[in-house]
Amino acid sequence: MKSSFAAAVGLLHACHYPVASFVAPRSTASLTPPPSTACLAAPSSSTTPDEDATATTTKAGTTKDDADDIERRRLKTALLGRLRVSRPSSSSSSSFSSSDVDHDENSPSSSPLILDPIFVDPITKDPLRAMSFVGPILGGGASMSGIGLSFISSTDPERVYGGRTDTYIDLLEPATSSSSASIDDDDDDDDAVLSSKSSPILSTLLAFVPPPLRTLVANATNSGDYIPMRDLFTSPSVSFAYERGWRQGFAAAGFPGADVEFDMANEHFAPVVCGKGGSVLVDMSCATGLFTRRFAKSEKYSRVIACDYSDSMLVEARRRILADSEILSSSTKLDLVRCDVAKIPLRSDSVDAFHAGAAMHCWPEIESSLKEIHRVLVPGGRYFATTFLSNYFAGVAGVERGVNGGSDLPRNVQSFQYFPSVEYLRDLLTDAGFEESKVSVELLGRACVVMRCEK
């Protein structure tokens, strides 16, 4: 049985509802209007859906097409009343103006669909349409802690991604889709069910297991989906510890510290964002937002998109963001997004600056991930990243070989990516599409590698 939310979305699509823009609290998830020369008439706050239907009847008479249009409007009005979908009004500020709205070319010109200028379906790469909900999806009182969001595939209305402005946008996998497992007909709970690829309890327990043994423990518990280099960071205990000593420990490998690394990244990004309006920065594998907060407060970028696979990292990042008064007063639009770096949910040629601090050694699909980064960068866009050489993890890799009969474990079940040299990393970057003359790989200390690339 299809969930009520999926059915509601399908009905909205059939009604050609001009999806409402929403106003996100400052420094929470928001939509940034793309530059546009299209002028689309904004709905008037003084016109109700019933008056819209009356106007249609008066203007066009009583033909069958008009009757069908009236019926669609009637169904739309009833549905929106139940869903509590917010609608634009002249009395409230909005992140969109009528001239900013990007519209779906397949929809009637009188019903523009709001498309985020950057977000796409991570699998199909189709643009996503945005909706906001004042309160819970079905019934209940309005939420005072944030705005519920839905991002709907522009080509498949049953592929719906969710999120909230007070937490993050989940573009890792759809909350509902035509390919999702059906909900039991005997189940009274008809709401959409979010799935998880790994057990939160297992992730938490494995955080206290030495890295070389995590794979063995995961296999013993029949958790075939557990990937050590990725899923360790889904543990709330790791998220809690990340800025409480964990990240600071990277100094032993040669990392110069967050402030210096931030200055290095900004210096590399300066030529592509200096004097440019509307620059977009992505902070991939943002963890608890250590660099995200610095980028947002610098106000050098009009939009900062912080991404991570771990929901617990994003929750901790949001908590720290909301506690930072400088970010709350910043003009930078800030989004937190859950996603997979190997399937980045962003349009091609849409990002000016891409940052990944101490991250690449935790990406299971390193080749696909780097190709995705190259894809989303604008021509001339820049990538700045830091990671570890394999000698930093020599002890861990040695134990892994010991428990595997002296042989290296398959890469997908290793604790980390083991990069043997700066030349190896340079080859990965050029294989991803970066020109060799525009790739710089520098070694700091004994194991910290700094990469600077230009598309």
Among the ranges 19-28, 177-186, 375-384, which has the highest mean pLDDT value? 375-384
Quick one: average pLDDT of 301-320? 95
Token digits of residue 217: 């423990």
| Short-list 342, 321, 353, CA closest to 29 | 321
3-state secondary structure of 356: strand
pLDDT in tens, 19-45: 333 333 333 334 344 433 333 233 333
Give the pLDDT of residue 230: 66
pLDDT in tens, 323-341: 999 998 888 999 999 999 9
Q: Is the pLDDT of residue 221 over 50?
A: no
Rg (CA), the chain: 24
Among the ranges 17-26, 204-213, 273-282, 432-441, which has the highest mean pLDDT value? 432-441
Token digits of residue 192: 């959409």
Q: Is the pLDDT of residue 223 over 80?
A: no
Among the ranges 147-156, 171-180, 239-248, 255-264, which has the highest mean pLDDT value? 255-264
Lowest model confidence (mean pLDDT) among 51-65, 89-103, 115-129: 89-103
Q: How would residue 91 be classed by pLDDT, with cut points 50, 70 and 90?
A: very low
Quick one: average pLDDT of 157-177? 88
Give the pLDDT of residue 276: 67
Distances (CA, A) of 332 to 26, 41, 296: 9, 27, 6
Distances (CA, A) of 242 to 172, 234, 237, 248, 250: 22, 12, 9, 8, 11
- The pTM for the full model equals 0.68
Q: Which fold has domain 236-454?
A: Rossmann fold (3.40.50)
Largest CA distance in the chain: 82
Q: What is the mean pLDDT of the chain?
A: 72
The DSSP code for 340 is B
Q: Do 104 and 113 form a contact (C-beta atoms < 8 A)?
A: yes
| Short-list 113, 180, 119, CA closest to 337 | 119
H helix intervals, 122-209: 200-206
Distances (CA, A) of 64 to 25, 54, 57, 60: 44, 15, 11, 10
- Give the number of other CB atoms < 10 A from CB of residue 14: 12
- Start-to-end Cα distance in the chain: 47
Token digits of residue 14: 């059939």
3-state secondary structure of 431: helix
Of 182 and 68, the one with more pLDDT? 68
Give the pLDDT of residue 334: 95
For residue 173, which amino acid is it? E
Residue with tokens 């040669």: 254
Could you tell me the residue ranges of all domains in the chain? 4-170, 236-454
Q: How would residue 242 be classed by pLDDT, with cut points 50, 70 and 90?
A: confident
Quick one: average pLDDT of 327-356? 95
| Short-list 166, 143, 138, CA closest to 9 | 138
Give the pLDDT of residue 425: 98
Give the pLDDT of residue 454: 98
